[in-house]
Every structure is written in structure tokens, then in C-alpha cells.
Chain A
Amino acid sequence: MMTPTASSASSVSSSSSSSTSPASSSLFPELLRQRYPDRDVLLPPATIATPTGKWSHKELWTREDEDTVAAQRAKPEHHASFLYEEQDGVTITPFDKLDERRRALVHERLLTLLPRDRQTAAHLAALTGGLLITVTANVEKPLRIRHRFSRGTDANRSTIVLLGPGTEVSLLESFDGSPRRASHTFEAFVAEGATLRYCQLQTMNGILVSRKAAVLGRDATVEWLEANAAATTYSRTTTFLEGEGSSTTALGLFLGQPGARLDLGAEARHLAPRTTSVLAARGALAGDASAIYHGVLRIGPSAEKSDAFQEAGTLLLSEEAESKASPELLIENNDVRCSHAATAARLDEEKLFYLRSRGLSEDEARRLLIAAFVWPLLGRLSGRANEFITDVLPLVERYAADALGGRRTPMKKNNKNEA
């Protein structure tokens, strides 16, 4: 279905130049020097601080991962690491093929929407590849970009999307394979009246750090859908509602497999009047999966007549699964509507019993209930964003089947106890 624009993945390793000094492995060494002259004073990435301590998965943050080792292991990647199909109204340029003008564009925008912390500096220091995407018209078909990773490597990639006024695009990025650690940043600059629909599919093994941000002009819209079935993930999605009347929907679907450590978050910053946001996360946790969710609605003093809603729901599928959630509201304007809700529950035994009484096997019934739990999340997608559903559904189905496979035995034991 997808036609690679470049040669196959095998060329990646052969074309990569080897370098030993951390600074020279960066794609933009001069940018690194200019932005982070003193990297040692930078703060580590923010974690959730609760009255009883900090919440974080230690697997994700070791100083080693952030910095030295990542910088030494990372090698510039060939544009063949990205698979996509060219379309009218959009130009995609891999970072290793930037001309002077585009290089200046990247210099001006890269990592400007992300926190200036140690992680961002380390990402830039060991940046291995990326894409500059400029949208100049309404793009008809969804643009699908597949990120390929060689086994056991470290990759730091960035995607920058520039949407011109009134343009529209559906963009899907998928991450699979088994790198040791991948750090990805996504930044979208959405001009007046433009619409971005962005879907990210995360199914890779290894550690994934994904930080996404968008800044919106007047009446612009961003719809985010992140479907996460990766093993160990740190993910943050931040939307800066800077233009009056701009809006965002950020949907997070997480499917935690046994062993998964998920640290997920979404934030909407209302910085202008009449801005709207919906943050919703739903997911299931199987085996000893553990998820942390940090949702933040921040309404600034100038965001009058804004409307914000946040929802988080978790389905615990096993005795060992753990869920932590902190849905926050930070409100500095009184002329707003703002609410949030969070729930955690297990599969409803009554519904299960009902489905079984209608002739479904236990596995079928459970699979149906898992799908039914995440479905309302996808229901929040607007008309055209529904085109992503065909990409996401197989993920849910495969997960439901796997999740049951992994825990069939303890479940039966548990049922006996309850009977």
C-alpha cells in the first residue's frame, strides 16, 4: 500500500557515518551551541509531584539515557528510515536533504515548543534524523509516515509541520520495530484557520520518548489521537491555544501489555479568548502493566469565554495492573467553563455474564467489553478524523486478544474464588 520513496531499510546502517564526538553526531551542531551553551544547568524533565511523593517510572529516566550514551550511540540516519507517499499540497523533506532555505526554517522552529530541559537538549545533541513537512493546500488523502528503527539502535528524531493559513491535512506517524531507545518530537505550527488531524501509532518495543506540541493561530484546530501499545513510553502532548477561537481535541488510547510502563500526559494551554479543548484518555492495563496519566488544563487570565473538558478512564484487566492519574485544572479566569472526570474500574461482571448467556465464549465477551470500553474515546473524533479508525482498530483487537492470552489462567482462578 505504501510506496517507499527511498531504498530499503538495509541501506540505513551502511549509509550512516560513524562519529565519536557527541557534538558532531548532531544534525545541527551550531543550533545546539546557540540554544544550550551550558547544558549542565538544565533541569530534568518534569515529573508529577503529589503530596506523597513523585510519580515516575525510573526505567525511563536515567541520566545515562538522556545524555552521554545516547549521544555516543546515536548515528545520523538516512532518509530511508522514513516511509511515506508524496501527495499534492504537501512537501516532505528529510533533515539530511534540507536546502539552505529549509535548513533556516528548521533552525528557527526546531524544539521551540518543548520545555527547555535536559531531555530536550539531549535530544538535539544526538538528533539522528527528522522531517520537515510544509502544507500549502487542503490535502485530500491522509498522509501516512512510517518510522523504521533498526534493532537495538538509539534514534532521536524530530518532525516539524508547518500548516499555511486555511490549509488542512491528516497526518499519521507510526512507530514500530525494536530500537533500544527512541526519542521523537513532533511540533506543529498551525496558521490561522488551518486544521491538523494527527494520529500517532506506537507499537514499538524498547523505550519510546514522544513529545508533541502544537501552536495554534486564530480559529485553527488540532485533533490529536495517540494510540499507544508500546512497552515503555513517556509521552506528552501540549497544545498552545494562542489564537482566538482556536480549539483542540487530544485523545489518548493506551493499551498496556504485561510489563508495560506508560507515563502519558496531555496539556492544553488556553492563552486567548473563546478557545476550546477536550482532553480524553482511555485505556486498559494487562498483566503487571503500570500507567501514569497526567492531564493539565491551564486557563490563562486572557482566555475568557473558553471551554475546557478533561476525562480519563482506566480498565484494570489483572490483579497486578496499576493505574495512577492526576487530571489537573489550573484556572486563572472566571468567565470559563471547565470540568474534568476520572474513573478506574474493572470489567463489569454483570455485562460479562449477560454476553455469556447470549452464547459468547468468555474470551469473546471480554474482548468485546475491552473494545466497548475504549470505543467512546474514538467516538470523540470529528468527521474526517474518523479515517484514522481503520488504523487504530486492528491495534485494539490484537491487544484484546493478547491481553486475554496473557492472563487466562489467573482469571479462572479468580473466578473460582468469587463463586
Chain B
Amino acid sequence: MNALDSIQRRDHLDSASAVAARIHAVPGLTEEVVRRISNEKEEPEWMLAIRLEALKAYRQRSLPNWPRQPDLSGLNLDAISYYVAPDARQSHTWDDVPEEIKDTFEKLGIPEAERTSLGGVGAQFDSEVVYHRLKEEIAAQGVIFEDLDVAVKEYPEIVRKHFSKCISPNDHTFISLHYAVWSGGTFIYVPRGVSVEIPLQAYFRMNTRAMGQFEHTLIVVEEGAKLHYIEGCSAPRYEASSLHAGGVEIFVGKGANVRYSSVENWSKNTYNLNTKRAIVEEEGTIEWVGGNLGSRATMLYPCSILKGRNARANHLSIAFAGEGQDQDTGAKVYHLAPGTTSMVQAKSISVGGGRTNYRGHLFIKKGAKGAKASVECDALLFDAASSTDTMPAIEVKERDAEVAHEARVGRISDENIFYLRSRGFTEKEAVEMIVNGFMERITKELPLEYAVELNKLIALEIEGSLG
């Protein structure tokens, strides 16, 4: 069995490995915990100041209360461990990584991914990146691909200039929490005019019971540069619910091109309350390609702020909700300058009582002349117990703008299945083919191994749900 096959087996993704944690913060969030995290990381004063400011904001906020939002009542914020560091030092070669961690990554197929020429591998095991490498020729171009904790110390000017400047620590409850306790994550800097031809990749994994994962990803791509970054996320299954509240900040320079791909497959008792945002300068492009299939509840709405003239945003996403799952995902796009364009394509599949929702906000500022925006939502419902909502919000303040929104909901038609069966396929194969076809627009944008992973995982989920 190769690593690619093994990655699709849920029991690998859902099993915890026996790494002894070096520090395990007392559950619950206090100022002491925040100061301890900062102290442990030997952070500069300014970072501690951001943390404490965020903690103050977090304490003044309450949980979101939106119409038809996922049920967050199972989330006990006082029982979450806000910081866990595995007993391992930062490593730069595969041989230095502890055996259990290596074993977990073997199951997840990471060395395989590296062999298939991915640029660098940064894997976050719990809260700290323990394995990190970047091919030499990319480093030689001046590209930085680092654990953010390390980057705070090694590249303080550039990190300080951008950190928390795209997403304010005061934006909403879970991002305030995130800024107070963030740990680990990726820092990528691509200098002006440099094109990173092979995708950079990181894998995040939650390994401790009832822990929170709060990794922060900071990506700065300078004028005319190009980057494709891929994240995969998972967590083993424990009885106590876990929380993932990450933050992703992307700065897309003038004429730069950034693609951010992620497959989030957290275990089914994780609350994935994540925030991702990009600021795009003149003629720049941000592309979000994402799959959400794990977790009990997801609330994730990647956001593109099209700040410069002719900036572009593409959002491609697929959400999958099986039994007991609520995938509340969407996209937010803000057209702030003339000539900006955006395209959102959101697909969802609900099976076995699962619920999906597309929740979006499309905003066209007065003065954004010639802006063009389109939003397309497609939902596939497998059975009568499942449900799907589409709640787009479209706000247009500029006359010279074109906005189009379309949504469709349907089930797999009996005729299509009948046709495929008449051509000699089994019912299961027929369903798989139709589902793969439904997702193709998204999966073809993912690197091959992620596309295969996504297809297989969804096939497995559907098989499980249909019995």
C-alpha cells in the first residue's frame, strides 16, 4: 500500500500518536496562559502587546448569533488547552524528526508528497512546526519559508510590518481568541519578481485531546511575484471536542499572483472556526481553492479585499457534510477599486443528515467603476434527511458594476444513475462518477495528490452514509 492509499483511510487520520507533550497548558484561558506562551516562545514585547490587546477584545465579545448558524453549544471554551508543544525541537532534515511523528506523517503521505517534487514541507505537529525544509534553489532566490514562531525572531521587521495588518485582532470573537494564543504556522516571503514554480506545502495536525489549534499563516508576495501554497489539516478523534481557530493573512503585491489551496479534514468533533483573508494590490490576483470535509461544525468564509485597480479574486470551494456535520462556509469579496473582478464558485454535498450552507457577502464600493462579480453556488443533496442553505448577501453601491449570482440545488437524478448502470457500472460506481463530475471544477484546480485524496475521502464518506 503506498502512502497515497493510506491517507484515505479514516482510522489513520483519526488515531492519535503517542508523542509526549513537553508543555501542556492548563485548560482555560487566562492572562497567565497568554504570557506563558509568549515567554516560552521568547517573543519580542510588541508581539506580547498584540496578544494582550486581543485577549482584552476577546473577553468583551460574545459568541456569534447569526440566523441558521451551526450549533456551537458543544464547544466548551474553558476546557480547551490553549497551548501544547510536542517534545521535539525544530528539525531541518527528515532523519531528525521523532519516530512517532514520522510515523504519523508517513500515514498522511507527506514524504510521498515531497518525493513528487513539492517545494518545501512544513508540518505543524500540534502547535509547533517540527519539520521544515525548503529546496535550496528557492531559498537562493530569496524566498523565505519558515515557521512563523521562528520568523518572528529571525525576520522581525517584515513580520511586524504585516502581522495583524490584514485581519484585525478586534475583528470577531474567534480571531481575537486566535491572536491571544496563536502558535506556530507558516511564514512565506516571496521577493519582488520571483516566481516560485513548485507549490509550497504544509500540513497541520491536531494531536492532543481537547486542544485548540491556533496557527497563524502570514504570506507576503511582493510586486510581480508568484506563489502557490498548499495546506492540509487534520486531527485525530478524541471524545472531548477540539477547536481550530486559525488565521491566514495574505498580502498580494502589485501584479503578483497567489494561489492558496487547502484541504481541511479535521476530525468530526472539531469546531473549525477559521479566518482567512487577502489584501490584493493593483493588477494582483488571489485564488482560493478549498475543500472542507471534516469537523463537526465549520464556519469559514475566505475573504478577498480587492484594494488596487484591476485586482482579481477567484474563490473555488467544495464543502462536504455527512452525519452530524454542519459546514457553514462561503466567501466574502470587497471590491474597493475600479476594474476589480471576482468569481466565486461554491459547491456542496450533503449526505446522511448533514447540513451545508453557503454564506457570503459581496460588496461593491461606490467608485469601483467597471467592477465585475459573479457568484455561483451548486448544492447536491443525497437524501431527505440532509439539508442545504444558500444565503448570499449582495451589496452594490456603484452603478457602473456588473453583479451576477446563481444558485442551484438538486439531487443525483435517477435517470443518470440508470444510464450509467445500463452501461455496466454498479450503483456505487455510478454515484461516485456523478459526484466526481460534480466536484471536477474544483478538484482539477488542486494538485493531483490532493484531488485524489479529496475524491477518495468523499467517496468513503458517501459510502459510509449510504450504508
Interface residues in chain A, defined as those with a beta carbon under 8 Å from any beta carbon in chain B: 48-52, 55, 301, 304, 314, 316-319, 321-346
Contact = CB atoms under 8 A, between A and B. Distances in A.
Contacts of A328: 389-392
Contact of A334 (B68, B332, B382, B398): B382
17 contacts: A51-B360, A51-B393, A301-B384, A317-B399, A319-B398, A323-B395, A325-B405, A329-B407, A330-B68, A331-B388, A331-B409, A340-B390, A340-B406, A341-B406, A342-B405, A343-B403, A346-B399
Nearest to B397: A322
A158 to B, nearest CB: 28
A298 to B, nearest CB: 9
Contact of B407 (A52, A318, A339, A345): A339
A342 B404 contact: yes
Given A341-B405, A342-B405, A51 B389 contact: no
A51 B390 contact: no
Contacts of A340: 390, 405-407
A327 B405 contact: yes
Interface of B: 66-68, 301, 330, 332, 359-361, 363, 366, 379, 381-384, 386-411
B399 A319 contact: yes
A365 B360 CA distance: 36
B301 to A, nearest CB: 6
A329 B399 contact: no
Interface centre among A314, A332, A341 (most CB of B within 10 A): A332
Contacts of A331: 379, 381, 387-389, 409
A342 B399 contact: no
Contact of A330 (B301, B330, B366, B389): B389
A304 B395 CA distance: 33
Given A334-B382, A335-B384, A343-B404, A326 B392 contact: yes
Contacts of A343: 402-405
A301 B355 CA distance: 13
Nearest to B172: A51
Contacts of A325: 393-394, 405
A319 B397 CA distance: 8
B179 to A, nearest CB: 19
Interface centre among A317, A329, A345 (most CB of B within 10 A): A329
B409 A51 contact: no
Contacts of A321: 399
Contacts of B392: 326-328, 342
A336 B408 CA distance: 10
Nearest to A324: B395
A326 B394 contact: yes
A336 B402 contact: no
Contacts, number: 123
Given A314-B396, A316-B401, 20 more contacts: A316-B398, A318-B399, A319-B399, A321-B399, A322-B397, A325-B393, A326-B392, A326-B394, A328-B392, A329-B390, A331-B388, A334-B383, A334-B411, A335-B411, A339-B408, A340-B407, A342-B394, A342-B403, A342-B405, A344-B402
Contacts of B391: 326, 328
Dominant secondary structure at the A interface:
strand
B168 to A, nearest CB: 13
A334 B384 contact: yes
Interface centre among B332, B389, B394, B410 (most CB of A within 10 A): B394
A52 B393 CA distance: 9
B73 to A, nearest CB: 19
Nearest to A51: B361
Nearest to A339: B408
Contacts of B383: 334
Nearest to B386: A334
A192 to B, nearest CB: 26
Rank and list the top 8 A-B pairs by shortest CB-CB distance, nearest first.
A334-B381, A50-B393, A342-B405, A316-B399, A329-B390, A338-B409, A344-B403, A334-B411
B309 to A, nearest CB: 16
A51 B388 contact: no
A339 B388 CA distance: 12
Nearest to A322: B397
B345 to A, nearest CB: 15
A274 to B, nearest CB: 15
B67 A49 contact: yes
A49 B69 CA distance: 11
A157 B409 CA distance: 39
Contact of B332 (A51, A316, A341): A51
B403 A329 contact: no
Contacts of B332: 51-52
Contact of A324 (B366, B388, B394): B394
A49 B66 CA distance: 7
Contacts of A335: 384, 411
B153 to A, nearest CB: 35
Contacts of A337: 409-410
A225 to B, nearest CB: 23
A336 B400 contact: no
Interface centre among B366, B379, B398 (most CB of A within 10 A): B398
A329 B407 CA distance: 8
A314 B401 CA distance: 11
A343 B400 CA distance: 13
Contact of B400 (A326, A327, A329, A346): A346
A51 to B, nearest CB: 5
B40 to A, nearest CB: 34
A145 B336 CA distance: 47
Contacts of A346: 399-401
A328 B387 CA distance: 13
Nearest to A319: B399
Contacts of B397: 322
B387 A332 contact: yes
A281 to B, nearest CB: 13
B403 A345 contact: yes
Contacts of B406: 339-342
Nearest to A346: B399
A406 to B, nearest CB: 14
Given A314-B396, A328-B391, A341 B404 contact: yes
Nearest to B374: A343
Contacts of B366: 319
Nearest to B379: A331
A317 B392 CA distance: 23
Contacts of B330: 51
A55 B393 contact: yes
Contacts of A330: 68, 387, 389
